[in-house]
Amino acid sequence: MKKSLIILILLVLSGIFLTENKIHANIPNPYEMWRQRSIKVGLASWYSETDPGILKHTANMEIFDDTGLTAAMWDVAFNQKIRVTNLENGLSVIVRVNDRGPHRRLVRQGRIIDLSKQAFLTIASLDKGLIDIQLEFLRF
């Protein structure tokens, strides 16, 4: 009886441990990302509070403020700092990831980051809409 109870307890505990590891397996690790690839090249766009479909809150539950130097990006930890450089004019801005985007279909077309209106305006004219950029993940 004692032996079967101990085995049962060990099985339950091992199941909890395995489930817990699976839950945390999908959380991006910024340090792992840093080691894998710290520079990417692609397209950047901008978004604003007045755009249709933009929610009041970002994915990390902050109130969206398009005058802040923030960005939306997939598979990057919230609060990750990124230097975004416009490849056309060399201007750069440091943004903080606080949202998810661009839309997945746009990512497949080469768009890798959505900048807040103010962040985009710092490195390009809003008339551009899309710009070629290089981004660099900064340590924090």
> What would the pLDDT profile of 72-84 be if each residue is shown by its tens digit?
999 899 999 999 9
Q: Which residues contact 118 (CB under 8 A, 6 or more apart)?
A: 66, 67, 68, 69
Query: Quick one: pLDDT at residue 35?
Result: 47
Residue 12 has pLDDT above 70, yes or no: no
User: In this predicted model, which residue has the larger pLDDT, 5 or 71?
Assistant: 71
What's the whole-model pTM score?
0.71
pLDDT tens for each residue of 39-52: 899 999 998 877 76
Backbone angles phi, psi at 86, to 5 degrees: -75, 120
What is 30-137's CATH number, 2.40.40.10, 2.40.37.10, 3.90.1170.50, 1.10.3720.10? 2.40.40.10
Segments making up each domain of the chain, as ranges? 30-137
Q: Rounded distance, CA 26 to CA 22, Å?
A: 7
Query: Quick one: pLDDT at residue 34?
Result: 46
